Amino acid sequence: MRVLALVAVVLALAVPAASAPTIDIKAQTSLALDRVRLRGDGMAEVTGQLVDKLTGDGLGNQTVTIKIGDDSGTAVTGLDGRFRTLITVPPGPQSVELKFPGGALLEPAVQTTITDPSRAQVALVIAIEDAVGGARVVVNATADDLPVTLPIAISVGNRVELGGAPDGDLQPVQSLDSGHSFLLTRAMAKGPGAKRLRAVFAGDDTRQKAQAEASFELSTATQTTMLASTLDLAYEDDLTVTGKVIDEEDHPVARAAVTLVSGDRRLAQGATADDGSYKFKVEGEIIGQGQFAVQVQSDPGISFIKPSHSEPAIIKVSSPQPVPVSYTIAAFVATVFAAGGFFLARAKPWRRFRRAAPAAEVAANESEVDQITGGMVANKPSVMSTLRRPNDDGFSGVVRDTIRSRPVPEAVVCLTLGDFEREIRTSGDGSFVLEKLQPGEWRAEVAAPGHVTEKFGVSIPHRGELRGVRIDLVPVRERVFQLYRRAAEPLLPESRLWGVWSPRQIVDHVRGKRPSPALADLTDFVEEIYFSPRLAPETVLTAAGDRVERAIRERTRVP
């Protein structure tokens, strides 16, 4: 029997396991027609570009087919994805079809438009710059490379990095002549943020219609207020500081990092609530005896919302007073009772008298899926180090992928202090070392391709807690899937399955439920980002958030 069992095991090991299915995720592509210009003898020059829809990069060495009327031709794209060819065109308006058949890792693309080569080709160029109250916009126009003044219609909407937002997202805001500027206010654009602007010339009898788009960030300044509980503080008392962070439209700025500082010293740190408010309580002993200027610095951590700081307040901290003997005795008695309570809590002698609960009443272990977060994990300094004054001016550690716990090589660790900046790239094992940093509150930023950038403060000097730190970076694809949960989880048979099923099972299940158009579009977006071998840029998070909100809004509208 043992021999037969051994033979069965050997045969089982010899049978090759069924290979897992291979899933190829192809990159989406996009074709754009630049111009169709007559050159004489019935020939026209056709130019355009083939790009990667996700990154906007040109795709070189690809064949594009151009068809105008009954004639067609081909062109090979250059390194920047641009192509050019000559083709016979009949007179009058013509349908121009651009077709890319696709490739091993590239999806096909088709673009069709109507143009009249006999009319002048119009090109629009959009210039946008920051201005007080919003952004200054100028649209310049040329017809056959000569400047002209044309009526232009301007529309503005939210920027979407992949796939493009529907035209319904663009709202008309202004009509003006080319070459003239106008102020695009935040109210026109529905608030600050990543935006896209479209300029359209409708065409006339002698000139073709034209359209141009530009992406930009509409920024807003912030205001940080601060109110101190007192300006004359006893050494033994606490200083309470409250305030609020708002933007230029008086809207609260939630989850902004706020820091209470006195000169180069950081007294407390926190974040604003949903209403933009914050509160600090600091012991007078931490501030120190004497007169100090304190203020609150805020940093929303969003590129289009600018940081700010409050007006400083002068706090006078009095000399420490001797502690009465009665206070010392009371503190000793309280310590004894606290120690006794601690040991009783550890031993829990009352548990022996408690009746055991029936098995049916015992709660099940239904663990929830933790939110994926990154950030810095400081080291624990030695006991002796905590007794000494801060004297270490170095910053070192390792950058790793928080999902796979693998080191992230070539990550950029950048520290800034006013006009000073120190930058280093991690080595193959994800480690980095920065020495001889100036004293102060440095702002650290750690970035790597395909990962969400982490920002935090670094206080120099320190007692050793910033030696051997661990900085966790969240992959962009994981953060996108995390955002996807809000829209997709209601379609699962049970909510707890989100932590049980694999991402592939979840995506396939949602698609099998025949979701709404917005959720179907979101699912395709998530599939390309999550399962593609390419690293998704951090900028796709804006597109992911917009698509999730659109899918949720569409679901709530369905009766």
Find which of 285-294, 322-331, 475-484 is predicted with most confidence, using mean pLDDT: 475-484
Same domain flag for 408 and 497: no
The mean per-residue pLDDT over the stretch 119-126 comes to: 84
Kindly state whether residue 486 falls inside one of the protein's structural domains.
yes
Reference 155, options 174, 129, 177, 178; nearest CA is: 174
Q: Do the Cβ atoms of 282 and 268 come closer than 8 Å?
A: yes
- Going by pLDDT thresholds of 50, 70 and 90, the confidence category of residue 362 is very low
The model's pTM: 0.44
Say if residue 241 is in the same domain as residue 177.
no
214 with 255, same domain?
no
Which tens digits make up the pLDDT trace of 65-77? Answer: 998 877 888 999 9
pLDDT at 527 over 80: yes
Is residue 422's pLDDT more than 90?
yes
Q: Mark 314-333 as b/e (b = at least 16 C-beta within 10 Å).
A: ebebeeeeeeeeeeeeeeee
Statement: residue 9 has pLDDT above 50: no
Question: Measured between alpha carbons, how far is 87 from 65 in angstroms, rounded to an integer?
Answer: 11
CATH number of the domain within which 50 lies: 2.60.40.10
pLDDT at 246 > cutoff 90: yes
* Confidence label for 37 from pLDDT (cuts 50, 70 and 90): confident
CA nearest to 403, candidates 530, 497, 294, 527: 530
Could you give the percent of the chain with pLDDT greater than 90?
25
Of 115, 135, 152, which one is at a domain's C-terminal end? 115
Residue 5 lies in a domain: no
Evaluate whether residue 15 is within a structural domain.
Answer: no
Q: Which residue has the higher pLDDT, 356 or 281?
A: 281
Same domain, 489 and 547: yes
Assigned domain for 357 exists: no
pLDDT score of 278: 93
| Phi, psi angle pair for 176, to nearest 5° | -155, 170
Pairing of strands 431-434, 395-401: antiparallel
> What are the structure tokens assigned to 141, written together?
């126009």
Nearest-angstrom CA–CA distance, 500 and 496: 7
For residue 511, what are the domain limits? 478-557
Residue 461: asked if its preceding bond is cis (omega within 30°), the reply is: yes
Final residue of a domain: which of 169, 188, 218?
218
Q: Which of 16-25, 103-112, 227-236, 409-418 has the lowest mean pLDDT?
A: 16-25
Q: Are residues 63 and 154 in the same domain?
A: no
pLDDT score for 324: 59
Q: Is 267 among the domain residues?
A: yes
Overall average pLDDT of the 141-162 stretch: 82
122 pLDDT more than 70: yes
Q: Could you tell me which of 518, 523, 494 has the C-alpha nearest to residue 507?
A: 523
What's the mean pLDDT when you consider all of the chain?
Answer: 81
Same domain, 203 and 235: no
Query: Taking Cα atoms as reference points, which of 373, 535, 544 lies closest to residue 456?
Result: 373
Position 76 scores a pLDDT of 93
Asked which of 218, 249, 264 is the last residue of a domain, the reply is 218
Answer whether residue 323 is part of any domain. Answer: no
Residue 85 lies in a domain: yes
What pLDDT is attached to residue 475?
Answer: 93
Q: Is the pLDDT of residue 514 over 90?
A: no
193: left (phi over 0), alpha (psi -120 to 50) or beta: left
Q: Which helix (H) or strand (E) holds 479?
A: helix 476-488
Examine the domain organization and report whether 214 and 229 are in the same domain. Answer: no
Shared-domain flag, residues 260 and 278: yes
Per the structure, the count of domains in the chain is 5
